[in-house]
Amino acid sequence: MLGNNSTICFFVENPNVVHCQNELESLVKLSVRVHLFCTSLPRFDFGEAVIVHQILMDSNGLPSSKLLHSTVMLLQDQFLAPFNLGYWIGIRTRRARLKNAFKRASAIENIVQDLKLGELPMLSYWFDDWSLSLALLRKWKSIHSFSTQAHGRDLYEHREPSGKKLAFRRATFKELEKVYCVSQNGLEYLKHKYPGFQPKLALAYLGSERLYEAQAANKAKRKFTISSCSKIRNIKRIHLIAEALLNFEHEVHWIHFGDLSLDERHHDYSVGRMIRAVQNVKRQNKKVTIELRGDCTNQEIQKAYASGEVDLHINTSETEGLPVSMMEAISYGIPLLGIDVGGVKEIIQRGFGILLEKDFTPEALEEGIRSFEQRKDRKEISEEAKSFWETHFDLHRNVKNLIEKLTKSSV
């Protein structure tokens, strides 16, 4: 059980990612004191329960002993892995990342030693370079132990552009206590990829907080309404919803929550395709209405869900961990339509969801929407969705379970 004086160290590059912020807020509500190590300062005021340590690395070189250690690690990572041309090409990038991991570890070490934090439970939010820095601290015996959560981009190696391989994985695995995967799919992936480290793998779902009480809406007086929630990026494939609605024969209203601004860093083609698809629907299909609400706060999104104005939530991503946006939807009894990627099938149950193949067609998506529109048992479906959220994806319960595991394993 969590004690009144529970304290942990929490590590993340940017604590302002919504689901990371939610986890920190939940820790505060559980009366857990948090030493937050981060690069970007939190925009949210967590109060005295969260002590922020901003980690800024200087431009100085590494001490000779650590320079030698980093060189040995780089060579081991390069030569012990199966040959991969793309991975070899990226060696200079990995060298820079490793150097930064050493500098970050040194900066963290100074704070840990000054405040005598080395025996506290330590958790990295991502299985990334911050986990590597903690692995170095563990190797230097500056901390007792650490664990990490693992989501999607930091877990599935085929999503890594450089050689489809995540660097320094085994070196990090060797030093850590546990990897808490946010989906069963991710857990099974790591078990298959790193069978020698299976005892270090565990499942720990994320979750969402239901901010408002769901209201009963008068669905008879409005159109069947679908929603989607994400930034417009290639991998999200939001434009396919608009393309599916082009020839939709029934009245339907689509609400999209998410920024439509072009992200040049990702050379993203999907914003233009999304805009063209929406314009085509508006010109050619008067039965369909579209509302692009833009970049909304989490409170604004959940208010819309709570109002009862959404009948079906859709996620069309071509790759996922386990989307928190889907957890938020079912917490208000909104059924789901999603794609069989990552851990999505773990939240889509037969009673209140439809699962499409990864390479679905607009026609298949259109048929999925129509099948839900025609169902007469929406009230029963809604209750089943809320019940499933309560038993699997309640944020406070899941965070409490995670911290109890973390505290126990660090003893």
2, exposed or middle or buried, with CB in 10 Å at 0-12, 13-18, 19+?
middle
357, 405 contact by CB (below 8 A): no
Question: In this predicted structure, what is the pLDDT of residue 264?
Answer: 46
pLDDT bucket at 55, cuts 50 / 70 / 90: very high
pLDDT digits (tens, 9 = 90+) for 217-248: 666 657 899 999 998 888 889 999 999 999 89
Q: 3-state SS of 380-400?
A: HHHHHHHHHHHHHCEHHHHHH
The answer to whether residue 32 scores a pLDDT higher than 60 is yes
The answer to whether residue 62 scores a pLDDT higher than 90 is no
Nearest to 53 by CA among 1, 3, 120, 2: 120
Please tell me the distance from the alpha carbon of residue 24 to that of residue 325, in angstroms, as a whole number.
Answer: 17
Q: Terminal CA-to-CA distance of the chain, rounded, Å? A: 13
Q: 3-state SS of 156-173?
A: CHHHCCCCCCCCCHHHHH
The answer to whether residue 349 scores a pLDDT higher than 90 is no
The answer to whether residue 411 scores a pLDDT higher than 70 is no
Question: In this predicted structure, what is the pLDDT of residue 265?
Answer: 47
Please identify which residue in the block is written with the tokens 């981060």: 38
Cα dihedral sign for 82, 86, 88, 90? negative
Please identify which residue in the block is written with the tokens 């970049």: 295
Model pTM above 0.95: no
The residue-averaged pLDDT of 352-367 equals: 92
pLDDT digits (tens, 9 = 90+) for 361-393: 989 999 999 988 888 888 899 999 999 999 999
What ranges do the domains of the chain cover? Answer: 7-207+394-409, 219-392
pLDDT bucket at 163, cuts 50 / 70 / 90: low
Mean of the per-residue pLDDT values of the chain: 87
124, 148 contact by CB (below 8 A): yes
Q: Name 198's Cβ contacts closer than 8 Å, sequence gap at least 6.
A: 191
Question: In this predicted structure, what is the pLDDT of residue 84?
Answer: 55
- Supply the CATH classification number for the domain 7-207+394-409: 3.40.50.2000
The answer to whether residue 86 scores a pLDDT higher than 70 is no
The residue-averaged pLDDT of 279-284 equals: 93
Percentage of the chain surpassing pLDDT 70? Answer: 85
pLDDT digits (tens, 9 = 90+) for 91-104: 777 777 888 888 99
CA 404 from centroid of its chain's CA atoms: 21
Decide which of 3.40.50.2000, 3.40.250.10, 3.30.1440.10, 3.40.50.1580 is the CATH code for 219-392.
3.40.50.2000
pLDDT bucket at 72, cuts 50 / 70 / 90: low
The residues facing 33 across adjacent strands are: 7
